Amino acid sequence: MEQKKPIALVTGASRGIGASIALKLAQDGFHVFINYSSNEAKAREVLDILTQQGGSGELLGFDVSQSSQVDEKFDWISKNRGPVSVLVNNAGVTVDSLLIRMKNHDLDKTLDIDLKGAIYCTRAAAKQMMRERSGSIIQISSVVGESGNAGQSAYAAAKAGLIGFTKSVAKELASRHVRVNVVAPGFVSTDMTGALTDTQKEAILQTIPLGFFGAPEDISSLVAFLASPMSRYITGQVIGVNGGMYM
């Protein structure tokens, strides 16, 4: 690792949007920690691509829903690599269910990873960033957190909670020049949308004014901007990347 490179950590970076973000930040000169929870093989594939492209990074396995693991890993980074300059809270799950059929363990899992995991990581990163008096934290929410969606009440609650959390923390950290923002993707072509039937895809496309699904790069390019000095006067904002699906 080149010691002078600023450090970025991307949670849930073994595939999809998270992988795209990790690759983009590495291209922009960050030493990127690629977080994963269980699929080390997929995370290593991302790291291999990153290094082949001339980037710098490392794998960092931990469960964001376990606060002790989060604190331990952030402490290790600080002591061995330096302070985290950019945190992207991308890790998330969704267990779709109508409210009356929702299982408690599915609700707990969704809130623990999608909301509490982001809170744990934000808290750990904020301690380092406040000492440095600089930093950018980017939360990956969802259009569902803004508009709601039948069958996704737990997921929507977590992603909406992330928005309220971000606005509060942005006010707390602004005096130390730490910025906190939300990116809210709409439907993006990933493994998840790939599992939809043609009929389902067509129905969704009817709700998107631009008429097509986004790509992971549409998200990662915005994240890269928010991670850079070019966005130095932006904090506490929710930026939708959804093709006009929600305005």
Count of beta carbons in the 10 Å neighbourhood of residue 47: 25
Among 36, 155, 233, 246, the active-site one is 155
How large is the average pLDDT for residues 203-231? 97
The pLDDT tens digits for 146-185 are 999 999 999 999 999 999 999 999 999 999 999 999 999 9
- Placement of tokens 């744990």 in the chain: 120
Cα(17)–Cα(116) distance, integer angstroms: 20
How large is the average pLDDT for residues 189-212? 87
Left (φ > 0), alpha (ψ -120 to 50) or beta: where does 88 sit? beta
CB-CB contact of 56 with 66 (8 Å): no
Secondary element (H or E) of residue 185: strand 178-185
Q: Tell me, which fold does domain 7-188+216-236 have in CATH?
A: Rossmann fold (3.40.50)
- Placement of tokens 């929410």 in the chain: 141
Collapsed DSSP state (helix, strand, coil) of residue 61: strand
Query: Residue 18 carries which side chain, given as an amino acid letter?
Result: G
Task: Give the pLDDT confidence score for residue 244 in this predicted structure.
Answer: 98
How large is the average pLDDT for residues 79-98? 96
**Residues ≥6 apart with Cβ < 8 Å to 239:** 181, 182, 183, 184, 222, 226
pTM of the model: 0.96
pLDDT at 190 over 90: no
Q: Is 36 a catalytic residue?
A: no
